């Protein structure tokens, strides 16, 4: 089972980010540029997939994705991608690529590369045969790789932070209308197009910034066993997308539960503070009651002492009165 490399992207009018499958990354010394090719598992036409080409900028071991700045860079990137498609199509078959002027390039070592979320709308899209997607992925992972070219310009990325990842939908409700595919390895979409890709093996299409492309020898149809392997890889890609979506949903549920637990903890802490304050008030009241009880006890003791003294004075007064009565009786 092949382990696919993925990257996170954010689309307009969609709150949740989507996962893209990385096909390959390559560097062109002619333009001192790096390029990244990825797929969102979009089926433009039956048997054809839409892939995206973006500029990969490297600065101090940090990587960023952006759109192609000039038509010349796009022409070079499309020419190199065409060479990669021919190499991928020729792998495993006896058909060798046609001899034509080649643009020097090398595949990029993307181990440990972390990319901030980017927008597919800023990147150039191309339609290729669906069977070539896994071939390009296999070629990009098995071919020798070198480090990316360091960028000399100051990079100020536009980062949209997101902690969620979901799998891209296989079929959107309003897909873009792509031109009918021709019998070539890839067809460039007219949207955001700077260069023209050949419409057939004999003539090239007439669009702005037309670049004549040599004829490409069509690769032979894959053997039944190879076709079955490609279908199995495509099924694996779909299963990985579903697994990524399930993991994202579970992660979102865990985050929601953690947020609820934090809210409950804050409420419990607030109630605990209120109980502590009431406990302090009760302790103060208890202390006041003890002081008052002590005062009452002291007053009761004083009152009992005064009552005792009053009883003694009463007895003494009664004795005095009795003595006076006896004196008066003796004189009479």
Q: Are 147 and 108 in contact (CB under 8 A)?
A: yes
Residue 251's CB is within 10 A of a number of other CB atoms, namely: 13
**Token representation of residue 147:** 């480090």
Q: What number of CA atoms fall less than 13 Å from residue 5's CA on the CB side?
A: 19
Average confidence (pLDDT) over 241-267: 92
pLDDT of 162 > 50? The answer is no
Retrieve residue 68's tokens: 């192609």
Of 157 and 329, the structure prediction assigns the larger pLDDT to 329
Question: Looking at the predicted structure, is the pLDDT value of residue 60 above 90?
Answer: no
The model's pTM is 0.47
* Percent of residues, the chain, with pLDDT higher than 70: 73
Asked if residue 88 lies in contact with residue 144, where contact means CB atoms within 8 angstroms, the answer is: no
Can you tell me whether residue 168 is helix, strand or coil?
coil
Mind listing the pLDDT tens digit for each residue in 164-221?
A: 343 444 444 444 444 434 345 555 554 343 333 333 332 333 233 333 333 444 444 4
Per-domain residue ranges for the chain?
A: 6-221, 225-318
Mean pLDDT, the chain, as a whole number?
A: 76
CA 87, CA 91: separation in Å to the nearest integer? 6
Between CA 127 and CA 6 the distance in angstroms is 19
Res. 66: pLDDT tops 90: no
pLDDT digits (tens, 9 = 90+) for 220-253: 444 556 667 777 787 788 888 888 888 999 999 9
Q: Which helix (H) or strand (E) holds 92?
A: none
Token match 């005095």: residue? Answer: 320
Evaluate whether 7 touches 122 at the Cβ level (below 8 Å). no
What is the helix (H) or strand (E) element at residue 52, kind and residue range?
strand 48-59
Question: Is the pLDDT at 58 greater than 60, yes or no?
Answer: yes
How many residues are recorded in the chain? 332
Residue 74's CB is within 10 A of a number of other CB atoms, namely 23
Token pair belonging to 142: 């098995």
Contact 168, 41 (CB under 8 A): yes
Please say whether the beta carbons of 40 and 60 come within 8 A.
Answer: no
pLDDT in tens, 135-156: 999 888 888 889 888 876 644 4
């Amino acid at each position: 089972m092949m382990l696919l490399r993925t990257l996170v992207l954010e689309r307009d009018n969609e709150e949740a980010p989507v996962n893209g499958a990385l096909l390959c990354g390559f560097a062109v010394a002619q333009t001192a540029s790096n390029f990244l090719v990825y797929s969102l598992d979009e089926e433009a036409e039956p048997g054809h997939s839409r892939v995206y080409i973006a500029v990969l900028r490297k600065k101090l071991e940090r990587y960023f994705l952006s759109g192609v700045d000039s038509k010349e860079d796009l022409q070079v990137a499309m020419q190199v991608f065409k060479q990669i498609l021919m190499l991928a199509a020729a792998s495993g078959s006896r058909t060798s690529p046609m001899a034509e002027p080649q643009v020097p390039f090398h595949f990029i070592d993307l181990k440990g590369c972390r990319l901030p979320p980017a927008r597919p709308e800023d990147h150039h899209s191309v339609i290729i045969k669906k069977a070539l997607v896994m071939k390009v992925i296999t070629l990009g992972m098995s071919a020798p790789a070198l480090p990316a070219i360091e960028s000399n310009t100051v990079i100020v990325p536009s980062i949209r932070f997101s902690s969620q990842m979901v799998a891209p939908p296989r079929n959107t409700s309003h897909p873009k209308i792509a031109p009918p595919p021709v019998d070539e390895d890839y067809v460039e979409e007219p949207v955001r197009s700077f260069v023209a890709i050949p419409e057939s093996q004999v003539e090239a299409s007439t669009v702005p910034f037309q670049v004549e492309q040599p004829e490409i020898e069509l690769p032979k149809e894959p053997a039944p066993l190879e076709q079955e392997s490609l279908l199995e890889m495509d099924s694996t890609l779909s299963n990985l997308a579903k697994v990524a979506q399930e993991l994202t949903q579970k992660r979102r549920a865990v985050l929601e539960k953690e947020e609820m637990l934090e809210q409950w903890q804050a409420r419990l802490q607030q109630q605990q503070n209120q109980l502590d304050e009431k406990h302090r008030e009760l302790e103060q009241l208890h202390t006041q009651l003890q002081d008052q009880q002590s005062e009452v006890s002291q007053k009761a003791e004083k009152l009992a002492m005064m009552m005792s003294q009053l009883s003694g004075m009463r007895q003494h007064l009664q004795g005095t009165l009795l003595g006076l009565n006896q004196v008066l009786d003796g004189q009479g």
